[in-house]
Structure formats: structure tokens, C-alpha cells
Chain A
Amino acid sequence: MTDAVVVEGLTKRFGSTTAVHEVSLVVRTGELFGCIGADGAGKTSLFRMLATLLLPDAGTARVLGLDVARDLWALRPRLGYMPGRFSLYPDLSVEENLRFFASVFGTSLEREYDQIAPIYVQLEPFRQRRAGALSGGMKQKLALCCALVHRPDILLLDEPTTGVDAVSRREFWELLARFKASGLTIIVSTPYMDEATRCDRIALMQQGRILALDTPDAITRAFARTLFAVRANDRYRTLLALREYPHTHTIYPFGEVLHYTDRRTGLPAGSVAEGVTAFLAGRGLTGVSAGTIPATIEDSFIAYLGGGAESWHASP
């Protein structure tokens, strides 16, 4: 089984900014691959190069065995692409948009109905509605339909769930799982860390570079230190206090708690926790407790980015 995507040393520059910096990765056929990162990570530029929309400045990329720079006309009919922002016609109806994209690829809605049925059944009640009048979640589902209607061999989805409400996001990923189950290779980019766990393998990206590339499990398992959740009534003062604690390696807010790692290695978790709570109690902070927790993708990402304690002082 050949690999669906092979990227080597891919680079893209815009003026003096390097959007994608010597990125290399391989996506296997039938894999659900995630590119996780924030704005400016280079996800969109990477996707656009894979979709033959941008020419790389250096490096090579082969999608389905075809070179993205040279073989674009052979490749385009086989790609399903969903751009980062809504790219359907707002003044055409749901059905009209679908028919248009089907026709552009030389097929018809009727012929491909069973392919897109899982999604289309959700849209069908609104098929006469203008696409511009749909809610965010519905727009994304329609865009997914249009990307799939011509039975592509690979799906490239650039931030399909950004700005969409939690319910629709969930439904979207359920749909993706169904299509993956039928053997389709899917590459998704997202800024949401929690979506990373739904992928087979992920690449953590920041400023054009890949920080880590592996299965989500392997990445969290690779988290170097023991992670603690510290609870307290006054989170802010606790945060400031722990910045002055000599054993703190990293400390950052994480929802209702703070996540803490210790400088010292080899110390049993219990003693670390006791030390922390004692220190905080000594500072007059109340409701303090500390316990170990498993690391999440977000913790790993933060660790790769440099921790969070020192980067406060980095200049723009």
C-alpha cells in the first residue's frame, strides 16, 4: 500500500516570512491525519501546497503518487478540498451548490447520492435554502458534501470546525469517522487540541515547523515529567506564588486548576504534592490540593512550545 502523501523538506515563504519551514511528513493510505496548531502555524499554507494551490519554494510533495507542482491537472480531479473559510456560493441554494460542484467534476448529484448520503440527509430538509443563510455547522457540512461529491481519493480539510458550535463539531467528526471507515484518506487541520485524539496520527505545528509527529497516545506518553493538578480557591494568587517556588519547572492555568511540573526528577509524586501544598498553605492560600494527572495533548504542546514560565518575557 503506497503512502497517500509524502512531503520532504517543504518550504513556503511570503516575502520575509517563512510560513512553512522544511516540513517533512508521510500520511498513510486510509489514515485520519491531524495537523494541530494555532494561527500562523503554517497549516493553511501546507494544505494549499498539497492541494496544488501554491507552489513550494523548496522541497517536494507527492500526493497519491503525483507531484503537486508538476502534475496538478492529474491531481486536482482526485482531491477533495475544503478551504479554511467558507468557499461556497452564498446566493445559491444547498442543492444548487452541490449540483454545481458535481457538474464541474463531470458527474451528477443523482449518481453520487449514496456517497454523500450520510451528510446529505442532514441537509436535505434545507436543500432549497440559500447557502448564505445556513448556520455555521450546516455550512461546514455542506462544504464537506461538495468536497466529497466527486468521490475523491483523498480529503484535505483546512480547519473545518473552527468557529463552529460544540454540537456541530461533534457531529462533523462523527461523519469523518464514517468516511474514514470506508477507506478514505483524510487530512484535517484544527486548532482544537481535544480533536487531536480523534486522529490516527497528528503533527503538532507552530510557526511553520513540526514540533512532534506521532499517534496522540505516543505524544502524551512522551511527556517528560510528572504532571500535577493544583487546586486552590484563589487561582491567580496561587499562580503568582508558585512562580516564586524554587522547585517549579512549569506552572500554568488549565481550566479550574493549575498544571504544575517539578524541576526535580526521581522524587515520588506524593512528596512533591506535599511540598507544594505546604508551601502554598504557608503563603496563606486556602482550599489547596495537588495530585497527579495524565498529560493531555495540550500539555504536550505547551511543553514543546517552551513551558510557559519563561516565554512570558519573550519579545514579539
Chain B
Amino acid sequence: MTDQIAIEARELTRTFASFTAVDRISLEVRAGEIFGFLGANGAGKTTAMRMFIGLLAPSSGTARVAGHDVYSGSEAIKRSIGYMSQRFSLYEDLTVRENIRLYGGVYGLPDKEIRARSEGMLARLGMEQSADTQVRAIPLGWRQKLSFSVALLHRPQIVFLDEPTGGVDPITRRQFWELIYQTAAEGTTVLVTTHYMDEAEYCDRISIMVAGRIGAMGTPAELKREFVTDSMDEVFVRLARPSQVEAP
């Protein structure tokens, strides 16, 4: 982890008509850090992430990602980052190799480079046998690991993971996090959103969003101390308690 700032936001805000999805959030993510972006569904995590990856323009405030401004440099941002979403990652009717080649091509990697990196990736994942299988026939856990690797194909500085471990068994979940550790150890910054509070503890630092604002930010240990509890779940409950009367 260096002292370089990979992601920086100041008073970042996004409104939709009368609804404020993201309400003046400010944060800093250091290069090589694993940053957990937590919060309940609907708290504003996905909207915030979309602003960071250049898919959505902010309504106000500033942010810089990989050294580029989110307003003016969204194309440059897209080239410097990788993105993996649980909802969509790979084309199901294409084979593993075809998917890799497609994304390699989209990011402008030369053919030789794509071939070399894809062989390396398949070997590391142990998926050489399945290289020519259609993705729809690959089990969920493997698909997600593959998806993650493809997001890293073009060696981005920062990788954004949107709810990457939904629905998988505990072992696959841990294998995935080990991939994240490995990636961070190699210097890539990782921003993960998740609603599994126990995964928060795998991160170096986390922020918890509540109703569009950042309710708490720090290392898991700091937050547990602050809220006087030993479980991240409990931290979240205590944080959300003021809004317990359901704001639907």
C-alpha cells in the first residue's frame, strides 16, 4: 500500500428528480488498498460506484479516479479500471476463451498479449479443461472467479467489484477473497461493495452508507471499537438504528 490516492471524492452528490441517492460523500482510497463499500440495498452504494467508474455523472461535488476527473475524464477512467458486477459479467453463450478474447479486444490488447494472458489466467484458475466450454455450463462460483480475472485482464490500476460473492458457498467465497488479496498484494486497488457484513472484515478499510450518506468509515477494528461490539453485523445494526422506523 503506497501513499498514492487511487480514488478521491469530496462532497460527491447525485440526485434523481427529488430523490437524493448519494448525499455529499467524501472519501479517499489509497493505492493497493482493499476498500469495502458497505450498506443496505438502496443505501446508494451502486449509484456511488457508477459515478466512480464513469457511468453516471455526479450532480455536484468532485471526484478523481486513477488520477482522472470523473466529469471530464470518464473515458480515461474506463480504460484504467476493471469492473465486475454480479448481475452481468460474461456472455453465457460464448466459451471461456471467446469471452477473454472479446474483452481483450475491447480494451485494445494485441492478440499475442491476449493469448499469453489468457493461458496464464486459465492456468492460475485451474480452468484449462473448461476453456472451450460455454460459460452457461460453468458452475456459479467458477464463473465469478473467471469474471474477476477477466476484469483484470488489461492490468487496470483499480478494480471495482459490485456484490461479487452473492449466493456462493463459504469455500468459494474464501477462494474469491484470496484472489482479491492476491490482486491487492500486486498493487491493484480493490473497491468492493457487498451487503454481507462479515466480508467487511476482509477489507483494509470500509465505509458504511446509510440513506445516501457515509455513516461510518475506518478499519473494521476501529469501527468495532467505536460501536462497542465484536461483530460487523452489530455495527451496522447500531448505525442503522436511527432509521429503524422504516423509510421505505
Contact = CB atoms under 8 A, between A and B. Distances in A.
Taking the complex as a whole, does A directly touch B, i.e. does some CB pair lie under 8 Å apart? yes
Interface of A: 37-41, 122, 126, 129, 133-138, 163-167, 170, 191, 193-194, 206, 235-237, 239, 252-253, 255-256, 298, 301-302, 305-306, 308, 311-316
A239 B244 contact: no
A315 B128 CA distance: 9
A308 B236 CA distance: 29
Contacts of B221: 256
Given A135-B248, A256-B221, A39 B168 contact: yes
Contacts, number: 108
A200 B229 CA distance: 26
B40 A206 contact: no
Given A138-B248, A308-B174, A315-B130, A39 B236 contact: no
Contacts of B3: none
Contact of B201 (A167, A193, A256): A256
Give the interface centre of A122, A129, A167, A308 by most chain B CB atoms within 10 Å. Answer: A167
A167 B170 CA distance: 22
8 contacts: A136-B41, A170-B237, A252-B171, A255-B232, A305-B169, A312-B126, A315-B130, A316-B142
B218 to A, nearest CB: 13
Interface in B169-222: 169-172, 174-175, 177-178, 181-182, 184-185, 195, 197-198, 201-202, 220-221
Interface string B217-239: 00011000000000011001100
Contacts of A37: 169
A305 B171 contact: yes
B127 A239 contact: no
Contacts of A255: 198, 201-202, 220, 232
B41 A163 contact: yes
